[in-house]
Amino acid sequence: MLAMFLLWSLFEWALFKRVFDDPIKGKLASVVAAYLVGSSIAGFGKADGGPYYWPAFFDYAIPALIVGCFAYVSGKRLKEKMGADGAREVFE
């Protein structure tokens, strides 16, 4: 759970909040990117010298859903704060 949250925060800060105009889309895209990267790293790490550990994608599905719900709610709040003036009122 902590790894998914940290990856989500990293992707959101570094990339997706600068790419998307809609905060909800940016936050959810960063969750998807964190899920794919975290699951891929876990699959190689849990392989332990054997073949790729494909169930790692299932292991990280629940934390990704939890972080995704959190990201959706925070993106919705940010979008409501932006209001009619756009991002200027929130980020200045």
> Residue 91 pLDDT > 60, yes or no?
no
Task: Name the pLDDT band for 20 (thresholds 50, 70, 90).
Answer: confident
Instruction: Identify the domain containing residue 10 by its residue range.
Output: 2-91
| Backbone φ/ψ region at 83: left (φ over 0), alpha (ψ -120 to 50), beta | left
Q: Give me the number of domains the chain comprises.
A: 1
Specify the pTM: 0.79
Least confident span in 2-11, 16-25, 79-88: 79-88
HSE-CB for 15 with a 13 A CA cutoff: 11
Mean pLDDT of all residues in the chain?
85
Model pLDDT, residue 90: 53
> Residue 52 pLDDT > 90, yes or no?
yes
